[in-house]
Amino acid sequence: MRPIEVLAKGPKFLGVFHYKAANGRGLHGRRLPTLTAVFLIIALCLVAITAGCGKDKSSSESGSPGDGAGNEPGPSPAVTEPAGGTKTGGARPQDYGSGTGEDEGRDAEGDIAMPREPVEPLEGAVLVVVENLPSARPQSGLDKADVVYEADVVAGITRFLAVYYSEGAPKIGPVRSVRKFLVEIAHAYNSPVAHAGGNADALKLIKSLKGFKDMDEIFNSGAFFWRDNTRKKPHNLYTSTNLLQKGAKKKGYALVVPPPLPTTNKETAETLSSPSAPAEEASHIRIPFSEKADTKNVVEYRFEDGAYKRFINGKPHLMRDGSPIQPENVAVLFVETKEEWGDDPQLINKVIGSGKALFFSGGRVHNGSWNKSGSRSHFVFTLNDGEPMLFLPGKTWIEIVDRSLDVTYE
């Protein structure tokens, strides 16, 4: 009898079943009668067909980066959630939301639950972790954030932490998992942080931080997110400032207005220079997070009409509604990083400490440094002459990069 292998893939919670019948032998190597082996093979084929028919294709979309050219990623690993509350199973379980359909405002004709109510004024800050895989673009709502932090999380793929406190957004996302260094940044804001799970380091840190205002779609706040069925999982999880404010009130989280970055007016900004901290003209910034073909992520900012228009791989970085990203200020922070290539690959960004920085504002660049004394402390930005960096009023994007990355400007 020829060796026969049957592979049956069921829904994620069923896992993967792998049976072999070779030369008439059973699972433990004992010889089976030929008729018994035949019946066993037929039964296993029926299991494979039944499991395959019952599978929900939308639940198996991968969180992997794909080839960077818009091609669909492969199947997802199985994900389980044991009683202890830590997600297990598969290499990247932190990347999957619940998708249970329990959110408010579910559409009767589909899974598009975007609330249609007017955007309410913000009573304080809310923070959201947003992904930046090619399959996640175009995103929604990043253009409305007051401050956005961007950093490499693995292999040049970046993730955002968007901070909203002066302008609301009706749709923000796709929301994705948090990382430890993003928790360390977010903690200083003492405000609700929206995300969809996280890796082990991040979830452990959140649990250890007393009073951390956690809004995790997977574990404790699913009602304040929705999935947009016009996009594929896991790149279709969204929230809004309205929902996050509603969720914060329900969970008893106080909304706090953060201290603004030190600012100045345009006239003063043009004289913000000294012999020990000279400013230079700089209308173009290039930040090559990755130049590899399969994960290419080259960010540029071009200063035009008083703002830094953002580009990715040579194309304008637009939101899903067509809105451009064009902050008034850009800061580049050089940090120590460490790669980890285990079951959950990641790039660790050490954001507690100090390092060199470049500050771009008003078409000029200033050399200086950053300092962050702990997770409860905000970044402090200082020029080389010891004076605080003064930014122009408006939105600010903060790029966190490896200290050896070749960031150029002209």
**Which domains does the chain carry?**
4-59 (no CATH), 100-250 (3.50.90.10), 266-409 (3.50.90.10)
Q: Does 70 have pLDDT greater than 60? A: no
Whole-angstrom CA distances from 271 to 73, 357, 388 are 50, 20, 14
Decide: 172 and 114 in contact? Cβ < 8 Å: no
How is residue 349 annotated by DSSP?
A: E
Q: Which strand (E) or helix (H) includes residue 282?
A: none
Instruction: Supply the pTM of this predicted model.
Output: 0.74
182, amino acid identity: L
How many whole angstroms separate alpha carbon 349 and alpha carbon 338?
A: 7
Top-confidence residue, 87 or 305: 305
End-to-end Cα, the chain, rounded Å: 72
Top-confidence residue, 395 or 266: 395
319, amino acid identity: M
Confidence at 276, pLDDT banded by 50, 70, 90: low
How many whole angstroms separate alpha carbon 260 and alpha carbon 68?
A: 36
Decide: 180 and 140 in contact? Cβ < 8 Å: no
CA atoms within 13 Å, Cβ hemisphere of 384: 14
Q: Does 31 have pLDDT greater than 90? A: no
How is residue 395 annotated by DSSP?
A: -
- Residues 6 or more apart whose Cβ sits within 8 Å of residue 113: 103, 104, 105, 106, 107, 226, 227, 228
> Residue 370, exposed/middle/buried by CB under 10 A (0-12, 13-18, 19+)?
buried
Decide: 71 and 80 in contact? Cβ < 8 Å: no
Joined together, the tokens standing for residue 161 give 């932490």
Tens of pLDDT, residue by residue over 349-406, are 999 999 999 999 999 999 999 999 999 999 999 999 999 999 999 999 999 999 999 9
> Residue 404, exposed/middle/buried by CB under 10 A (0-12, 13-18, 19+)?
exposed
Q: What is the mean pLDDT of residues 326-349?
A: 94
How many whole angstroms separate alpha carbon 261 and alpha carbon 392?
A: 9
How many whole angstroms separate alpha carbon 255 and alpha carbon 191?
A: 6
* Residue among 215, 210, 158 nearest 181 (CA): 158
311, amino acid identity: F
How many whole angstroms separate alpha carbon 285 and alpha carbon 12?
A: 44
Q: How many residues does the chain have?
A: 410
Q: Which strand (E) or helix (H) includes residue 315?
A: strand 315-316
What phi and psi, each to the nearest 5 degrees, are found at residue 396? -135, 130
Q: Residue 100 has what pLDDT?
A: 27
Q: Which strand (E) or helix (H) includes residue 397?
A: strand 396-402
Return the SS3 of 93: helix
CB atoms within 10 A of CB 367: 17
CA-CA-CA-CA torsion sign (144, 333, 358, 284): negative
Q: Does 82 have pLDDT greater than 90? A: no
Q: Does 54 have pLDDT greater than 50? A: no
Task: Give me the residue label for tokens 């953002």.
Answer: 310
CB atoms within 10 A of CB 34: 10
